[in-house]
Structures are given as structure tokens and as C-alpha cells.
Amino acid sequence: MAKKVGIEAAIAIAEAAALADVDVVSAYPITPQTHIVEHLAHLVADGILNAEFITVESEHTALSAALGASLTGARTFTSTSAQGLALMNEIVYITSSMRAPVVMALANRALSAPINIWNDHSDVMSVRDTGWISIFANNAQEAYDLTFMAFKIGEHPDVLLPVMINFDGFILTHVIEPVVLFGKEDVEGFLPPYDHPYKLDPDRPVTMGPVGLPEIYTEVKKQQDVAIRSSRSVIDAVFKEFAERFGRKYSAVETYAIDDAEVVLVTQGSVTDAACFVVDEMRKRGKKWGVVEIRLWRPFPFDDVGSALTSGKIKCVVVLDRAISFGGPAGIVMSEVRSALYHVPNRPIVIGVTSGLGGRDIMFEDYVRMFELGEEALRTGKEPEMVTIIGVRE
């Protein structure tokens, strides 16, 4: 029976992997992900979860073992953060390229240096182009639901790609929130058994990850790109089935109070709920502001972003980036938003802000400042190319 409990988001994520009845957990502990794998280790040790828990000496091996396990036909889960993801990097690209539907819970944390264990999005942005499906959760319930759904999405025979669920380190991993946890019987039939069409099997030998000569490599990459783009229909279908069965709705792009909004803030992750709170408060003071969240990061929902940001009375879009593309095209998310709007006639002004780097809190006034920068841009008609870092000491 589903029951609502107060639970730490990290534990809820581990419970979601257990609910999916994973066969293999391969992970190395790192702050702020640690509680996830600790809890899974408990569940395995106590005989509650019948899975192989592989203890490894590094994240590179954690994902290598997960990749191998996934390709034998085992449902596989891993989890990491920042430096751990950086050490996995070689295998991150190989896992998607070899079409292994590993599910990873990524507790978003700033990349070193300087050493920083707190939250931003520099880790997920560093693997933006590695071919993983990438989805953001905003609260503990979403982290639980999306981790569970990730297996159904990634393992779908038309997809067969790894899925990364992003949730903000500490801000989300370490908070205790009310979460509706499913019983096994509640989700019966939702998650079909995983079957890879070319399992590693001694009775039916195949070669996986062979040398791809110049005459083959391009075709493999094209096939992979088509696969992740096509995964969108499966993602939508899984969200729809989940909503129909369990009542909680998820979309590639979430919107809040945008019907009459002139300025909207584009967010990802836990800042979304905070931004919605700011919008509620400021609407009492007459501000017509709204929030658009890009929940699905890869495959990027170009059409949804385009239609959300050109709907109603939106005249200015402020994109909040939680990482920096050094020397690059301003904000990372901001440049994607600009791409999505490039062909749209009468597109809104798009400006970028960066905030909350390395765990710095984004305060109420900071959000207000972001929206005000949007109003300023509207007044002056100026669309600065570069991002403004909110709250940096000059």
C-alpha cells in the first residue's frame, strides 16, 4: 500500500531503485550522494533487496561494472556527484554509446577547484553532450517518482539508453520531506522486465563495443542521435501512464503562472519551487511574473520550450544558469533557450543570469533582482550577450 512518510530525499531515491527491483548496484560513495548507496547497501545486506551490490575502488570502475552488468541483461543502478562523475567521464560516453540503460542518480554538486561539496549544476553540464537522457527533479517526491520512471524509459526497447536523474545536492538530497512511497503491489505491471536484445551470453557470443573504423563510426553516431531524439515519445508516454495510474503529472517543460506573465524565469531543479514562491509573493505586489522549468534537459525539448516562452504576454525571458561555460556562449541553458527561439518571429528578449554557484544560497531578493533585470531589459530594449552573475562581489 502506498503510504506518505517523512523521508530524506536520498533515502527515497534508494527506495525507488529498490522498488524497481534492481539486480545490480555499482557505486562509490561521495558527498552528497552517500546516503543513497548507504541505504541500498543496507537493503541488500538485510535481505530486503535481492541485488548484487558491487563495491568498487573508484567511480571509473563503478560505472564500468554497471555498464557490463547492464549489458548482461541486469537492471542496474548507480549514483554519484561532481568529482565522481568527472572520474566516470570516459565510461559516461561509452555507456550511452553502447546503449546500456543504466540509471544514475546524480546528486548535483560543484566541480573542483576550489574544492566544494555544495550544490550547483557544473557536474551535469559537463556531461551535457554524452548522450544520456537527463531529467531534473525539484523535490523529494519528484526524485522518487522520476528515479522509478527512469528504468521504464531507459529500458524501453525503442530507447535502450542510460538515464540520469538530477537532484540538487544537500538542498534536496539531505532534506526530509513528505513522500508517498509505493508498495510493490501498487506499481505491479508498470515496469516490465528488462530485456536487452543482444545480451552478453556465452551461449550466443557477440562483440560489444568493437573498433568502429571510419567507414562505420559515423553511422553508429547517427543511430545514437536518432535514438535519443526518438526517446521523447517514450518519455511522454511514461509520464502520461504514470499520471493516469498514480495521479502525479510530469512534463518535459513545466510552467507556473505564465498566462498573464510579462517576465518569466527559466529554471532547472530545486530553485524552481523557490522561484514559484517568489512569484506568488510578488504577484501580491502587482508583479506579473512567471516560471518555466526545463525539466527534460536531454533530449532538449525545443518545441515545448519555444511554445511555452512565446505564449501569452511573455516579453522577456530570464534564464537562470547554475554553471558557467567559461569563455563560451554566455549561460549554458541560456544558449539552448536562445537556440529554441531563434526561428520564432517576434521572439521575446532573452537574458541570462548565473547564481547559486558552489552552494551559495539564492535569496528572495536575488530572485527579485533576476526578474527586475528582465524588466530593465524590456524598458531599455537591450539584450546583453553575456550573463550577469547575481550577487558576485565586484
Cell of 47: 535481505
| 72 contributes a contact to other proteins by CB under 8 A | no
Report the C-alpha gap between 57 and 62 in whole angstroms: 8
Greatest extent of the chain over all pairs of C-alpha atoms, in Å: 70
**Which residue, 96 or 119, is less far from other proteins as judged by CB?**
96
Q: Which of 222, 240, 245, 249 binds other proteins (CB under 8 A)?
A: 222
- How near is the Cβ of 232 to other proteins at its closest, in Å? 19
What is residue 392's DSSP assignment? -
Distance, in Å, from the CA atom of 349 to the CA atom of 381, rounded to the nearest integer, reads: 8
Q: Is 207 in the site for other proteins (CB under 8 A)?
A: yes
Contact 271, 362 (CB under 8 A): yes
Among 55, 72, 89, 224, binds other proteins (CB under 8 A): 224
Site for other proteins in 173-202 (CB under 8 A): 197-198
Interface with other proteins, residue 286, by CB under 8 A: no
Closer to other proteins by Cβ: residue 90 or 259: 90
> Cis before residue 101, ω within 30 degrees of 0?
no
Specify the stretch interacting with other proteins by CB under 8 A; choose among 37-45, 209-217, 294-302, 379-387: 209-217
Q: Helices 59-71 and 82-97, interaxial angle, to 10°? A: 30
Specify burial of residue 226 (Cβ count, 10 A radius: 0-12, 13-18, 19+): exposed
State the nearest-atom distance from the C-beta of 93 to other proteins, in Å: 12
C-alpha of 275 from chain center: 18
Closest CA to 17 of 41, 235, 242, 84: 41
Q: CA torsion angle for 120, 133, 298, 34 (degrees, to 10)?
A: 0
Residue whose CB is less far from other proteins, 208 or 363: 208
Please identify, using beta-carbon distances, which residue of 63 and 316 lies nearer to other proteins.
Answer: 63
Cβ atoms of residues 67 and 130 within 8 Å: no
Determine the residue type at 230.
S
Give the binding range for other proteins (CB under 8 A) out of 108-116, 212-220, 275-283, 379-387: 212-220
Q: Which of 2, 48, 226, 392 binds other proteins (CB under 8 A)?
A: 226
Cell readout for 234 is 517514450
Task: Please identify which residue in the block is written with the cell numbers 505564465.
Answer: 258
Residue 183 near residue 21 (C-beta atoms within 8 A): no
Rounded CA gap, 167 and 8, in Å? 13
Q: Whose Cβ is closer to other proteins: residue 66's or residue 261's?
A: 66
Give yes or no for residue 55 binding other proteins (CB under 8 A).
Answer: no
**Which parts of 328-367 interact with other proteins (CB under 8 A)?**
none
Residue from 72, 89, 97, 311 binding other proteins (CB under 8 A): 97
We find the least distance from the C-beta atom of residue 105 to other proteins, in angstroms, to be 24
Q: Is 212 in the site for other proteins (CB under 8 A)?
A: yes
Segment contacting other proteins by CB under 8 A, of 45-53, 210-218, 285-293, 346-354: 210-218
- Binding-site member from 160, 172, 320, 337 for other proteins (CB under 8 A): 160
Which residues are near other proteins by CB under 8 A? 97-99, 160, 197-198, 205-210, 212, 215-216, 218-220, 222-224, 226
